[in-house]
């Protein structure tokens, strides 16, 4: 995965971590159930309560999972995984500011929690706080220099900041780690187009479409590049494909 975790008090329970790439994709860490049993007087242990929340979380029962995680925090207000999993639910629901606060709370409890820092960057990006997002992704890369999602997300963050040459460097680094991500090739193509490096833009966009033949935005960007290269017929064909894949695209 490229992501490292500190050991410590909660290190024996891996919480599912949906690592959201900003444009597409994502993956889950495996859940490792604990063998924790009820505490004194039949009261659920914190780990058991957390594991119950994880089970409901994975089943898509988000309200019930939130209730379980909040009970964890009632017992241990600084519990990093409790805050983090609440952030994951807010993230899925598009509640970016709430997710940001949850990830920041997780990092207050465990500054080395890379998944929390990665997804903090994601929700900052979604709130158009591109400089802060880039800072979060850089922090991930300080610990895990080849983390493919951190490389990709940093690349598109600095692209939003107008730092095109730096974006190209980060996106190329991301492709060295995962050459089959269509969205990375797509954004590399956009960066090359912005720099006027049209043959390289064309090659990157064609690769994105090869990997994802239904990539409507890829065809749309390719049409611009074809037109800039004076290839009107190819540009019209690419635009027609864009419309076919996304009838409302203009």
pLDDT by residue for the chain (250 residues), tens only, comes to 333 333 333 332 333 334 444 432 232 332 323 333 334 445 678 888 899 999 999 999 999 999 999 999 999 999 999 999 999 999 999 999 999 999 999 999 999 999 999 999 999 999 999 999 999 999 999 999 999 999 999 999 999 999 999 999 999 999 999 999 999 999 999 999 999 999 999 999 999 999 999 999 999 999 999 999 999 999 999 999 999 998 874 5
| Residues 200, 164 contacting (CB under 8 angstroms) | no
Angle at 19 between CA 24 and CA 74, to 5 degrees: 140
Distance CA 188, CA 191 (A): 5
Q: pLDDT digits over 49-88, tens only? A: 899 999 999 999 999 999 999 999 999 999 999 999 999 9
Residues 6+ apart with CB under 8 A from 81: 10, 13, 15, 50, 106
- Strand runs labelled E in 23-96: none
pTM recorded for the entire structure: 0.81
Helices (H) and strands (E) in the chain, counts: 12, 0
Direct distance between the N- and C-terminal alpha carbons of the chain, in angstroms, rounded to an integer: 38
Residues 6+ apart with CB under 8 A from 117: 103, 107, 136, 139, 140
| Residues 85, 57 contacting (CB under 8 angstroms) | yes
Residues 6+ apart with CB under 8 A from 48: 34, 36, 37, 38
Q: pLDDT digits over 104-128, tens only? A: 999 999 999 999 999 999 999 999 9
């Amino acid at each position: 995965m490229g992501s490292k975790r500190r050991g410590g008090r909660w290190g024996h329970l891996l919480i599912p971590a949906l690592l959201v790439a900003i444009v597409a994709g994502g993956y889950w860490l495996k859940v490792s159930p604990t063998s924790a049993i009820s505490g004194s007087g039949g009261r659920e242990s914190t780990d058991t309560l957390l594991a119950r929340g994880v089970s409901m979380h994975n089943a898509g029962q988000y309200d019930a999972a939130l209730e379980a995680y909040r009970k964890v925090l009632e017992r241990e207000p600084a519990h990093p995984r409790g805050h983090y999993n609440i952030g994951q639910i807010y993230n899925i629901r598009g509640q970016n500011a709430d997710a940001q606060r949850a990830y920041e709370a997780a990092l207050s409890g465990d500054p080395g929690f890379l998944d929390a820092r990665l997804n903090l960057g994601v929700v900052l990006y979604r709130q158009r706080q591109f400089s802060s997002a880039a800072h979060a992704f850089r922090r991930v890369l300080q610990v895990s220099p080849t983390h493919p999602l951190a490389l990709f997300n940093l690349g598109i963050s600095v692209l939003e900041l107008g730092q095109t040459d730096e974006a190209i460097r980060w996106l190329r680094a991301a492709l060295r780690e995962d050459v089959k991500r269509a969205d990375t090739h797509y954004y590399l193509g956009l960066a090359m187009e912005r720099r006027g490096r049209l043959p390289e833009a064309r090659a990157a966009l064609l690769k994105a479409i090869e990997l994802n033949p239904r990539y409507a935005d890829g065809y749309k960007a390719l049409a611009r590049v074809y037109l800039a290269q004076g290839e009107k017929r190819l540009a019209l064909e690419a635009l027609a494909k864009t419309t076919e894949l996304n009838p409302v695209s203009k």
